[in-house]
Structure 1
């Protein structure tokens, strides 16, 4: 099974995504995300989706340059192309999943994709969502945050409440704090050291690193 999987899906992709490709040993392209991989000389091991975002010629090019293509009916399916790709990745029991192109103009899709991090957490798989300006991870007990070129770190609860939040290495520390949905207390913190640690007692906490 693969240890590191990269999924490219059909949101906002660009040259920035290529810098995240080096440490993967398995590539999955979802819909037009497969075309992005092919166009950049990275043949996906699997291409999956209804491929309604590509032309017939582009779909043929994807099929000719990937190890396996899994087509899905655009109407008779229960999951988005991104979730299908994510569930496929989880089935391979990886140690880590990077999801690229999961954020874009469709906020409903972007929010649903963020929720996929909870699927990975339930399977004990480290996962993150990356775009040009953000890196999003989910913490349920502890998480080490590296600067990585991001200027800000925000904490947002994915569950109704997250308790026992303790921060070290941050400019604005917290000690045994509670965050509930609707609060902005965790927005726009800054690392004071090269790495910071987030600890929590209960709940699911989104850790969002960002830069303008």
Structure 2
């Protein structure tokens, strides 16, 4: 089952969100992300958070419409976004699309990258998506699909990624050990529909950026 989480960072455009959302998705509004869903006339399956930044009238409208609400104390051990991820798993999600996970709050953005790491270790396929980026992690040899001329970037998200080989890209790489967040593999480019990336160990963050 796939869950779609809309959290309280920079809200996705309506066109972006609707381009991914299907009727079968389990839709979760997280705190301020509920405002976005209400504005777009989208009915979530679940809303949650401490609701310190959501519009009170929005929360009232959703609860009066019979939508399940989970309210948490602001003084807690998890961020609202992390709680959204936990509840998505509890509802049986093995794939999650995460909107509103980036924005002006770098601390929250980095925390949500941490949720990406957690999902990878727990076998949950998770992507962070905003109007300018699509972000996911890999920890094994992978073929990545794209279109000719599309930009793609790779970052090591472990201390070192050993023996990276990138094939089928404009800038190929062979047998390279890439250190944590080293900018060596930023702004590569598809020259066909596939890029093959292989490595012996480590975790790579894959970013599809768009200006």
TM-score, structure 1 as length reference: 0.91
Partner of 2:37: 37
* 3-state SS of 1:185 partner: helix
Equivalent residues in 2 for 1:1-212, closer than 5 Å: 3-13=1-11, 14-15=13-14, 16-22=16-22, 24-65=24-65, 67-74=67-74, 76-147=75-146, 151-212=150-211
| Cα distance in 1, alignment partners of residues 58 and 104 from structure 2 | 22
- Of stretches 53-62 and 122-131 in structure 1, the one that deviates more from structure 2 is 53-62
Asked if 1 retains the 8 angstrom alpha-carbon contact of 2:96 and 2:127, the reply is: yes
- Residues 77-99 of structure 1: CA distance to partner in whole angstroms, max 9, x if unpaired? 11111111011112334231100
- Residues 97-123 of structure 1: CA distance to partner in whole angstroms, max 9, x if unpaired? 100010001011011101111111111
Could you list the runs of 5+ residues in structure 2 that have no partner in the other structure? none
* 3-state SS of 1:77 partner: coil
* 3-state SS of 2:9 partner: coil
- Residues 33-84 of structure 1: CA distance to partner in whole angstroms, max 9, x if unpaired? 123223323211110101111232122023234631000111x211111111
Could you list the runs of 5+ residues in structure 1 that have no partner in the other structure? none
TM-score, structure 2 as length reference: 0.91
| Cα distance in 1, alignment partners of residues 2 and 132 from structure 2 | 22
- Residues 174-198 of structure 1: CA distance to partner in whole angstroms, max 9, x if unpaired? 2232110252111111111122222
| Cα distance in 1, alignment partners of residues 45 and 124 from structure 2 | 20
- Residues 110-143 of structure 1: CA distance to partner in whole angstroms, max 9, x if unpaired? 1110111111111111111000010001010033
RMSD: 1.9
CA distance 1:101–1:144, shift in 2 (3 Å) = farther
| Cα distance in 1, alignment partners of residues 64 and 72 from structure 2 | 18
What is the aligned length?
209
Offset of residue 154 of structure 1 = 1.0
